[in-house]
Chains A and B, each alone.
Chain A
């Protein structure tokens, strides 16, 4: 079944650790996004990509980085995690419809940095 998958679902790590949040989609979409969301709060765009080798920063400044080497894969990396990075990270993808296409979200990774 075509979907968008995120791993891990939950992650608790110590300050200073390097982490990578995985996101893969089997929907054949070119556009992918990372949003940061505190529980029940608004979603903030932190990174997006139009396709392979394309990455852009979103409106919310983030110390994370992303890469897009394969169409279906859009991992997010934190080189040195801090407690301020504690949040939920949602990956999304969308088609290329010129008339607008909705975002399809993954289940999210809930990150806690101690």
Chain B
């Protein structure tokens, strides 16, 4: 089955710096890659997703890149703000998300 590895487990940055979180997956059949943000005590919320027919997607300060050959994808946050502090989860799965497998999470802290 699918296995998703996520690094780093914790990441501390200064406000205004960039943050990068990386994930690798094992199942070459996976073709949907969402990213979720979970603030303390709250539900995970989708922040961006990418499908296998696209190499990069951007939404304001957030971007995701996908390398299907190497089976890895990354989340990039630019101009970080304290409200970006949260745990971020990557996930991989087939189009219909029946078996969406999550990474182990990255705790991002943005210091003012």
Contacts and interface: CB of A to CB of B under 8 A. Distances in A.
Interface of A: 31, 33, 35, 40-45, 48, 50, 58-59, 90, 94, 96, 98-108
Interface stretch (B11-19, B40-48, B61-69, B74-82): B40-48
B97 A101 contact: yes
B49 A100 contact: yes
Most A Cβ at <10 Å: residue of B49, B96, B103, B105: B96
Contacts of B103: 42
Given A42-B105, A102-B49, A90 B44 contact: yes
Interface residues of B, number: 26
Contacts of B96: 31, 96, 98, 100-101
28 contacts: A33-B100, A40-B87, A40-B105, A40-B107, A42-B104, A43-B44, A45-B99, A45-B100, A48-B99, A58-B99, A59-B1, A90-B43, A90-B44, A98-B96, A99-B95, A100-B49, A100-B51, A100-B96, A100-B97, A102-B46, A102-B97, A103-B34, A103-B36, A103-B44, A103-B46, A105-B44, A105-B45, A106-B43
Interface of B: 1, 31-32, 34, 36, 42-46, 49, 51, 87, 89, 95-105, 107
